[in-house]
Amino acid sequence: MKRNNLAVIYFAVAMLVAPAVHADATFAVSLDTSSISGTDGQVVFELIDGDGVVDNSISLSSFDLGAGTVDAPADYMGSSGVTGDLTGTIAMDDSGGVALFTQLVTFGSSLMFHLSTTNGFSGFGAPDALSMALYASDFGPCFSNDQVACTLLQLNLGGGALTPASFTLNGASVQGLPAPVVTFSSAPEPGSLLLLAAALVAFVSSKSIGRRPRW
């Protein structure tokens, strides 16, 4: 009986800690842009190296502009650590201090993409930070209720486990834009699966042992 109880406890603990055994995460981001559908604008991403020690990397993929169009080549504004565009995958890292991406589009009914990120932090200074912003085509006023940061989405990479609640999200009342919606997109990491598998084997084995007849 004692062996069975220990196996149950181990399995329960594994179920609780498995989601947090890795810092990297993938999210699905969606924004309703129907209020500005048919207008031109700039989609901007920025990754800033806050602590100057630990670098992070971002992958933005699976873009869906909701029948919108990409109207010009991507512009990295002279920054390093950026490749790709809205027609494929955008890769960014902050090894050069600041990575900046912008591309002119005609907005459709929505803007959706997947965001994968590392989450390293030295513990000193400010954490690295990723932000997304929308601007008019001439980089006029930003589309955001936060006219200081001018962002619709910001994620501080302060180490530890990331969740959708880690994001700071803003709408844009003037343009009629709601705040973006962020949800988990990734499957469990291999480390999580191995932990769960080991716990399950221990649990099943203990149950089998408990059923052996006594001679």
Whether residue 57 is found in the same domain as residue 112: yes
pLDDT for res 24: 79
Residue 50's contacts (CB-CB under 8 Å, 6 or more residues apart) are 125, 126, 127, 128, 129, 156, 157
Cα-based distances in Å from 83 to 4, 89, 151, 208: 53, 8, 21, 54
Handedness of CA 58, 94, 142, 162 (dihedral sign): positive
For the segment 189-197, the average pLDDT, to the nearest whole number, is 48
Give 115-151 pLDDT, tens digit per residue: 999 999 999 999 999 999 999 999 998 999 999 999 9
Q: Are 95 and 173 part of one and the same domain?
A: yes
> 67 vs 105, 148, 150, 164, CA distance in Å?
11, 31, 25, 26
* pLDDT number for residue 4: 53
Q: Which residues contact 77 (CB under 8 A, 6 or more apart)?
A: 100, 102
Asked if 152 contacts 46 with a C-beta cutoff of 8 angstroms, the reply is: no
State how many domains the chain has: 2
173 with 193, same domain? no
**Locate tokens 């920054």: which residue?**
79
Give the pLDDT band (50/70/90) at residue 186.
low
User: pTM for this structure?
Assistant: 0.79
Question: Tokens 């050069």 map to which residue?
Answer: 96
Q: Are 115 and 201 members of one domain?
A: no
Summarize pLDDT for 49-73 with one digit per residue, the tens.
999 999 999 999 999 999 999 999 9
Which comes out higher in pLDDT, residue 156 or 197? 156
pLDDT of amino acid 5:
55
| Candidate from 7-21, 36-50, 77-91, 185-199 with smallest mean pLDDT | 7-21
- Element holding 135 (H helix, E strand): strand 128-136
Q: What is the pLDDT of residues 12-46, one digit of tens each?
A: 444 444 443 335 789 999 999 999 999 999 999 99
- Do residues 169 and 197 share a domain? no
In the structure, what pLDDT confidence band is assigned to residue 93 with cuts at 50, 70 and 90? very high
- What pLDDT does residue 205 have? 55
Mean per-residue pLDDT over the chain, rounded: 85
Q: Is the pLDDT of residue 169 over 90?
A: yes
Assess whether 61 and 134 both reside in one domain: yes
| Domain of residue 180, residue span | 23-188
Q: Do 43 and 18 sit in the same domain of this protein?
A: no
